[in-house]
Structure 1
Amino acid sequence: MLAIYFLSNHPKWKWVFIGGLLIRLSLLLSIPKWSDDYPRFLWDGELVKMGQNPYLETPQDWLQNHPESTSPYLENLFELMNSPAYFSVYPPLNQAIFYVAAWGENLDTKSGILILRVILILGEIGIFFLLLKLFEHFQLSSKKLILYWLNPLVIMEITGNLHFEGLVLLFLLASVYALSKNKNTLSGGFWGFSIGMKLLPLMLIPTFFSFFKTRKSKAFWIGSAIAIIASFAWLLIDDSWIHFLQSLKLYQGKFEFNASIYYLLREVGFWVKGYNVIGELTPILSGISLIGILYFSWKRKPQNLLQLIDLWVLIYLFYLMLQPVVHPWYLIPAFGLSLFTDKKAFLIWTFAVIFSYQAYGDPNYQESSIFLFLEYSMLALAIYWDYFSTNSNPLLAK
């Protein structure tokens, strides 16, 4: 990827596109190896196809309570599942995609994976052309598209491991593109759908209040409200939202993976209190994240779209640095956005985060302190260069 980027002065986009697409298509029939999320995707989709609510019962409870509806296919998905004792944590917009996969799979895991993968590849194609359009609009070098389209992490996590951060990026880019065309209602709608796909873009809301073009735009907020309501209204059925929020809380306060600042503070907690203080640390770090997001949004006050995107990248970086769980695919939306800025941290991180995969090779998923140190040392140097070095470029002013 980097060789193609540095050696191509005037890349032929047709061949870059075909090359990246062929790599993705080569994974079309593969089974995800470094992620076991897909069984839950297919399980939830199968329940929706059966006319049942995936938020009302855990898979464990469902098998016990509905023996008449159980099938060898569902039992196989249950055996492959990583969290069968938890309620579904995937928003309704995800569930709609899972249903599409279940509708076409006919009780076959490989067919379900294939359908999910085709949907995600179509989303990736949309990202490719949106990036081209936006680079042209902002008069930026379109060479940066190579860094996304041929990025190993992006290909592996979206196409290979079936994660939906690519669709989040698609909606965020569509929101920016609509804003650049003064279509504020559409822009708000696309941002709302990005929240419907994964909740995380909700943290960008203060930036829209600090950005002059959206702050008082009724059209933008109406579009956002319509998309968010359309995405989440289904949670009001049978009080599904109670179980949905319960799962979010469990995931937020129970799991740890590839963290940075959180791990350092956890060690202090072990030293002071003698036990894992995740239950106490998580709300504190969430509060710090919120304060930081509000501060950066108020301090930066973006005056144009490039400055708005630059602010988004900073907020994603600040948020991820404080999280107890940082799966590699979490980086993808911010990495795609960072291509419109002079910041290199997320680009470096897409390579450094590969060290975190070491845990998947351990039978107990035990993380290595050495690999964590290598990953975050590289990231720390990139952050220093981007935000603290005298050699770093000033905020884009276009």
Structure 2
Amino acid sequence: MLQLANIYSYKKSTLAYILISCILYLWFAYGLERTEGLKLILLYVALFFLGFQILKTSGFYFRVLVLAAILFRLSFLFAIPNLSQDFYRFIWDGQMLLEGLNPYLYRPNDIMNGSGIDIPMAQELYNGMGSLSASHFSNYPPLNQLCFALGNLFPGKSILSSVIGMRLIIIAADIGTLYVGKKLLEDLKLPSNRIFWYVLNPFIIIELTGNLHFEGVMIFFLVWSLYLLNKGQWKWAAVIFACSVTIKLIPLMFLPLFFWWFHSNRSYTGINKNSMLLGMTTLILFYTIVCSYTLLCFLPFFSMEFITNYAQTVGLWFNDFEFNASIYYLLRSIGFAITGYNEIAIIGKILPVITLLCVLGLSFFTKNNSLTKLIPSMLLAMTCYLFLSTTVHPWYIASLVILSVFTNYKYPLVWSLVVVLSYFSYLGIGSEDKIENLWVVAFEYLIVFAVFTWEVFLKKRLPF
């Protein structure tokens, strides 16, 4: 009791910042519409300021910061997400799975137009997800679908009960990331308090716990895999990495980056650490485990129709959808000036090729033989992907934020602050249609590119 009293006396300012943050998170969760732009920006910036003050004044006192991280997330527990409507589709897919249906074979439009299939809360979910989601097949990988189903099992049989169930899964994943991430930082001889750059980041709390985006679960498996890899447990690392892939497909882009890790790491290649044959054999086995487990997860849903539907839906992200992009918008403007048309069909095919070349360059020309070299390469690869993407939703930045924790780069933290500007596309209009102000987008990326250029090029910290 005396120790608690001393902590309270010494940390009054920290506790005050935590209390004010809790109030603002509650306001954000229950008193904000995404069309209220000024309120959104003010609350978001205030929470970033308070988060910085909490870290600054707490002396990184671990128990206090963990308690704050949990309290902030629990503030959203009974709230319906107010910045994204994707959760309606999550609940829909989960209900389909619980009904014994393959969510990859039916579009919501098909079911609602007299298919004879009965989905609980179908009309409310259909109205909530909007016409864009309703007109396409599901693109969420199998383990993500399982999370949707588990969330729907939470007692209550309502949209709110399903939201609570899925939110508890995401909170549990963030706690897992806190635990494993701290241990990995200690193993890498880095300050363990860096993990709070992720755990207490208002962007992470709002976009993952608040808006129910499962990047948090993907990140947990990714960090756990890196931790196991660093411990020399590469077989289990491969299985856990595959779990990350079957939440979101994004980690697949990191696979080429492991080349030098297996080729040069002594714990994998034995006494003769320069043995190309042994290193390549281990690398191939790692890839085999990842791919086999991933395919195994897809197997219950497999059919030729599934392959067609899934490929078609994933392809939309490169050839049809566009939102909050940077380099793509510049190229689109050039295309308009030359041809008078939106050339997304052409540009959308070229940009992924450039991304692949960037990843391969980081894989073979950067000697990623330690995690302190591998993780920065992963960060830069993901950054290239987002810079060249046609669609960059705010929650996509979450992967950059966690990877930055293990590096000296801070531009992902800056991006996590200014990405809120992308929500200006919802101001004063309906719940689904987006009208982007390209000047706002340009301002966002001007800041991001400035910090990125300074850190990566001008400060000469590129891991080559």
TM-score by length of 2: 0.81
Alpha-carbon contact 1:34-1:360 (below 8 Å) kept: no
Equivalence map 1:222-261=2 (5 Å): 222-237=288-303, 239-261=305-327
**Aligned with 1:143: secondary structure?**
helix
Which residue pairs with 2:437 in the alignment? 368
Structure 2 Cα separation of the partners of residues 105 and 77 of structure 1? 18
Deviations 1:179-204 (A, max 9, x none): 11110101111111111111111111
Which residue pairs with 1:382 in the alignment? 451
Structure 1 Cα separation of the partners of residues 327 and 155 of structure 2? 42
Pick from 354, 366, 372: which aligns with 1:288? 354
Which residue pairs with 1:99 in the alignment? 149
Structure 1 Cα separation of the partners of residues 426 and 414 of structure 2? 21
Give the superposition deviation at 1:139.
Answer: 1.1
Alpha-carbon contact 2:259-2:368 (below 8 Å) kept: no
Give the superposition deviation at 1:215.
Answer: 4.5
Find out whether 1:313 has 2:379 as its counterpart: yes
Which residue pairs with 2:60 in the alignment? 11
Which residue pairs with 2:342 in the alignment? 276
Counterpart residue type for residue 3 of structure 1: Q
Structure 1 Cα separation of the partners of residues 99 and 304 of structure 2? 17
Give the superposition deviation at 1:392.
Answer: 4.2
Find out whether 1:62 has 2:111 as its counterpart: yes
Alpha-carbon contact 1:189-1:226 (below 8 Å) kept: no
Could you tell me the percent identity over the aligned residues?
34
TM-score by length of 1: 0.94
Structure 1 Cα separation of the partners of residues 451 and 300 of structure 2? 42
Inter-CA distance 365–304: structure 2 relative to 1 (3 Å threshold):
same
Give the superposition deviation at 1:393.
Answer: 4.0
Pick from 269, 281, 285: which aligns with 1:216? 281
Deviations 1:296-342 (A, max 9, x none): 21111212111011110010001100001001110111210111111
Equivalence map 1:160-239=2 (5 Å): 160-211=210-261, 212=263, 213=265, 215-217=280-282, 220-237=286-303, 239=305
Which residue pairs with 1:36 in the alignment? 85
Structure 2 Cα separation of the partners of residues 117 and 81 of structure 1? 18
Find out whether 1:129 has 2:179 as its counterpart: yes
Which residue pairs with 1:109 in the alignment? 159
Between the two proteins, the alignment pairs up a number of residues equal to: 393
Structure 2 Cα separation of the partners of residues 22 and 68 of structure 1? 40
Which residue pairs with 2:76 in the alignment? 27
**Aligned with 2:228: secondary structure?**
helix
Structure 1 Cα separation of the partners of residues 210 and 351 of structure 2? 32
Give the superposition deviation at 1:107.
Answer: 3.5
Find out whether 1:264 has 2:345 as its counterpart: no
Structure 2 Cα separation of the partners of residues 25 and 323 of structure 1? 33
Which residue pairs with 1:84 in the alignment? 134
**Aligned with 1:179: secondary structure?**
helix
Structure 2 Cα separation of the partners of residues 183 and 272 of structure 1? 54
Counterpart residue type for residue 343 of structure 1: Y
Structure 2 Cα separation of the partners of residues 74 and 252 of structure 1? 30
Which residue pairs with 2:122 in the alignment? 74
Show structure 2 runs of 5+ residues with no match: 1-50, 266-278
Inter-CA distance 275–393: structure 2 relative to 1 (3 Å threshold):
closer
Alpha-carbon contact 2:258-2:368 (below 8 Å) kept: no
> Structure 1 stretches (4+) deviating beyond 4 angstroms?
none
Counterpart residue type for residue 362 of structure 2: F
Counterpart residue type for residue 150 of structure 2: V
